[in-house]
Structure 1
Amino acid sequence: MEIRENSTIEDAILVHSQIDEFDQHNNLTDYFLHRLNGKQHLILVAYTNEAIPVGYLVCYDRYNDNVSFYIWLAGVLEQYRHQNILKQLMTYAERWIKQNGFTKAVIKTRNQFKNMILYLVKYDYKFIEIEKKADIKDNRLILEKLL
Structure 2
Amino acid sequence: MRYSTASPPAVVAACLSDLPSATSGRIVIVVDASVLAVALGDDASDGRLARERLADETLAAPELIDLEVVSVWRRQVAAKRMPARRAASAVADLTNLPLRRSSHQPLLHRVWELQHVLTAYDAAYVALAEALDIVLVTADARLSRASGTHCEIEVVSAISDC
Same fold flag (TM > 0.5): no
After TM superposition, the score normalised by the length of structure 2 is 0.27
Name which one, 1 or 2, has greater alpha-carbon Rg: 2
More helix, by proportion = 2
More strand, by proportion = 1
After TM superposition, the score normalised by the length of structure 1 is 0.29
**Bigger RCO of structures 1 and 2 (CA < 8 A, at least 6 apart):** 2
